[in-house]
Amino acid sequence: MRRLFPRRELCHRHDFITAGALENQLYLLSLNRAGRDYGGSAFCRPWMDETRPKLLFDAHREELRRFEVTAGEIRAARASYSFLADRLADYDALPCR
């Protein structure tokens, strides 16, 4: 899926990509065109907090960056994400109306 977000909507785009990376415990690279009305690409890790924030690109400059991604970081995020404690052993047993 490709989407362009104009500059005025940039703050909302960053919220959506951060939520997507955290919900799915995966790496997410959001690239946006450079220029006056676009830019501000971001790299999200499977888990982010105040010690490991998302990495933001310059808003109006084209640049090449390298990021290290590991399966181990994904496994660690998935193992420690607290929502996993809420899983049910059998979802078919839920009452449906």
Amino acid 5: pLDDT: 53
User: What is the CA angle 6-66-29, rounded to 5?
Assistant: 35
Amino acid 64: pLDDT: 82
Q: What is the mean pLDDT for each group of 10 consecutive residues in the chain (97 residues)?
A: 51 76 86 70 88 84 85 89 79 81
Amino acid 1: pLDDT: 42
CA dist 76 to 54, 71, 73, 79, 80, Å? 17, 9, 5, 5, 6
Amino acid 71: pLDDT: 94
d(CA 68, CA 55): 12
